[in-house]
Amino acid sequence: MTKVAVVGTVGIPACYGGFESLVENLTKYSSNNIQYDIFCSSKSYPKKLSHYNGARLTYVPLSANGVQSIFYDVISLIKCIFKKPDVTLILGVSGCLFLPIYRLLSSSKVVTNIDGLEWKRDKWSKWAKKFLKFSESMAVKYSDVIITDNKAIGDYVDTEYAKDNVVIAYGGDHAIIEHAKVEPEKDYYLSLCRIEPENNVEMILQAFVESEHKLKFIGNWNSSEFGRELKNRFSGKPNIDIVDPIYDLDQLFKLRSECRGYVHGHSAGGTNPSLVEAMHFGKPIFAFDCNFNRYSTEDKALYFSSPNELSETLTCTTNDDLATISQNMKLIAEKRYTWKVINQMYETTYV
């Protein structure tokens, strides 16, 4: 039995983001010879299960996000010294400044997914960016295996650190609900993301104002001044429906299966979970033009880099082209972005 401790997520059952969905599905599809121990934030779980999907759950009384995430990860790693796992899977780099000490005190194999290039995100201050870049360098230097979720990030690690890495993306097939009733397609496009500047939210909204196509945009609009300002400015537009966060997979399945296409604005990070989930629905994908998104979609989606470009693409792309793109997205998703495939790739790094 290989004991694997997982550090760096809010925890499971998944209630937050991409890493949490990853861990939920790693435990769901786990081989019989893997025993997971997942560190969870007690702040996020009023009801504290001892086990889930066969994994043991260990709680840390801090938030897994923001500044507290550093201490949350470090405390988790300190607990790992005493738990003595065979493998420590670290998701994100917040606590990796502790890795040099951890390697001195633990014989565990360290596998780290460095996430996207977190230090480049606009939301961080200059000093936060410097800290995250330092943590990233510690992760790369002191890990046995580096996982990147997109080849563009893998190429960055090669260039910046001359370090081998393994590219493993995310699954998206959990978004498909088998045997669910699918209604006919409706006249709207869908976008879904955290409302942050690097997700080009304003660009997408402005494009739809100019095109007059209908858009449903789901996000955490009330979590920041940036989101509230955009919500106030665009919620009165007759063709734009500003929707508060939806986490229920049944509701999301209905919205994704009935939309005309999916608009993806992410410009930072790597392979984005909401993108690979959308690809499983076989809809045309309109993605912001960056190397991350081109790699994820194998250069077979539609791309934009300005409101005018997106507006024109929405209006001018022929039905035949849209049908071809839809088919390609589904084929790529079924080949590369299923949890069985992703789980097998993760488990090979534990050996």
pLDDT digits 0-9 by tens, 175-225? 999 888 888 999 999 999 989 998 999 999 999 998 889 999 999 999 999
Residues 98 and 69: beta-carbon distance below 8 Å: no
Q: Give pLDDT, residue 120.
A: 59
d(CA 172, CA 177): 11
* Confidence band for 346, pLDDT divided at 50, 70 and 90: very high
Residue 137 is classified by DSSP as H
Q: Is the pLDDT of residue 89 over 60?
A: yes
Region 265-280 average pLDDT:
91
Cβ(286)–Cβ(343) below 8 Å: no
What pLDDT does residue 117 have? 63
Residues 106-140 pLDDT 10s: 999 999 999 866 655 666 678 777 888 899 999 99
Tens digits of residue pLDDT in 37-88: 999 999 999 999 999 999 999 999 999 988 899 999 999 999 999 999 999 9
Q: How far apart are CA 61 and CA 59, in angstroms?
A: 7
| Residue-level pLDDT at 15 | 75
CA 99 – CA 252 distance, rounded (Å): 38
Q: What is the pTM of this model?
A: 0.87
The Cα 43–Cα 200 span in angstroms is: 31
DSSP-assigned beta bridge partners for residue 192 = 218
Cα first-last separation, the chain: 12
Handedness of CA 125, 126, 127, 128 (dihedral sign): positive
Burial 259-274 (b: 16+ CB within 10 A, else e): bbbbbbbbbbbbbbbb
Mean pLDDT score of the chain: 93
Q: Where are the beta strands (DSSP E) in the chain?
A: 2-7, 34-41, 51-52, 55-60, 87-91, 109-113, 145-148, 166-167, 189-192, 215-218, 240-243, 261-264, 285-288, 302-304
Residue showing tokens 């090669």? 158
What phi, psi does 38 have (nearest 5°)?
A: -105, 125
Worst-scoring range by mean pLDDT, 178-182, 334-338, 347-351?
178-182
**pLDDT average, residue stretch 307-316:** 96
- Cα separations in angstroms, 253 against 65, 112, 131, 257, 336: 27, 31, 38, 6, 20
- Report the distance separating Cα 341 and Cα 170, nearest Å: 9
Cα gap 263→317, rounded to integer Å: 14
Residue 218 and residue 240 in contact, taking contact as beta carbons nearer than 8 Å: no
Helices (H) and strands (E) in the chain, counts: 13, 14
Is pLDDT of 230 > 90?
A: yes
Q: Are 195 and 227 in contact (CB under 8 A)?
A: yes
- CA–CA gap between residue 171 and residue 19 (Å, rounded): 11
Give the whole-angstrom CA distance, residue 249 versus residue 240: 22
The pLDDT value given to residue 249: 84
Mean of pLDDT values over 26-32? 96
Contact in structure between 185 and 211 (CB atoms under 8 Å): no
